[in-house]
Structure 1
C-alpha cells in the first residue's frame, strides 16, 4: 500500500499505544542538573518489535513518545495556531523536512529507558 502523504506530513493525533504498527518509535526525555543548569536530552529509537535502532536516517512513519505533556501540547497546538517560540518552530521545521510523524504523551513509567539515558549523561559530564 502506497502512502501518498508528502514528506514531513503530520498525522492527526492518535492514542499512544503499542498498536502503532510497522512504524518507528522514538522515545525522548530530558534532564537538567539543578546545581549548574547542565541539560541533557536522550532518545531511544525502536522498531515495532522493540528492537533498538541506532539511527533515524532514512526512516519514515515515526511515533514520537515523551512523558512531557507540555512539549506534546506545544507542538500539537503550534500546528494549527503557530508558535511564537523559536525552538518549537525549529522542531517543526526539522520534523516536516524528514519523515511522516506523530507525537503523543506517555506515562513516565513507559519512558524509563530514555529517562535513564538522559540522567546517565550527567554522570559522564562530571568527568
Structure 2
C-alpha cells in the first residue's frame, strides 16, 4: 500500500475532447512490452485544440511491466507538455489500470515513485483530466511506441507525423 493521495481538485470527469481554448493540449500515450524480450517502449502524441499534431515522441524504457510502460509514456508526455508551456491537459490512454493508479483508485502500485512523479507534474497544471479509450482509438501512439530506432534510452521527437 502507498500513502500517495491524489488531489482531485484540479481533475474533473473525463471530457470527450478538450475545450477549444488556448493552452489545452491532448496527450495520447501508450506503452508496449515485447513478449519475447520483456523490453518496454513508449510513444505518444501531443495535439492542440484543433487536433493538429504538435509533437510526437518515443523512447526505449528497458525491462518493466506493461503498467510501468504505460505510466512512463504518460510521464514523458506530461513533462513535454509542461516544457512547451501548456497548463491544461487531457490525457488519453488505453490502460485502465494506469488511469486508476494515477487517480488513486487502486492500491497496487507497480512503481509508486513513478506515480508520485506523474502526480507532481500534474500538480503544475491548472487543469488535467484523464480518459480511457479502446486500444483502436490509440493506434498512433501505439505505432510510435513500436517505432524505436535507437536503443540508447534517449527520447526521440517527431515534429511531423512519421
Provide the residue aligned with 1:66 in structure 2.
93
| Runs ≥4 residues deviating over 4 A | 81-84
Let me know the Cα RMSD of the aligned residues.
2.3
Q: TM-score, normalised by structure 2?
A: 0.60
Provide the residue aligned with 1:100 in structure 2.
127
Q: Does residue 42 of structure 2 align to residue 41 of structure 1?
A: yes
Q: C-alpha distance in 1, partners of 2:144/2:103? A: 26
Question: What does residue range 12-91 of structure 1 map to in structure 2 within 5 Å?
Answer: 12-15=12-15, 17-18=16-17, 20-22=18-20, 23-54=24-55, 56=81, 57-77=84-104, 85-91=112-118
Aligned residues: 112
Q: Which one has a bigger Cα radius of gyration?
A: 1
RCO higher in 1 or 2 (8 Å CA, sep ≥ 6)? Answer: 1
Q: TM-score, normalised by structure 1?
A: 0.75
Provide the residue aligned with 1:6 in structure 2.
none
1:83 positional shift: 8.0
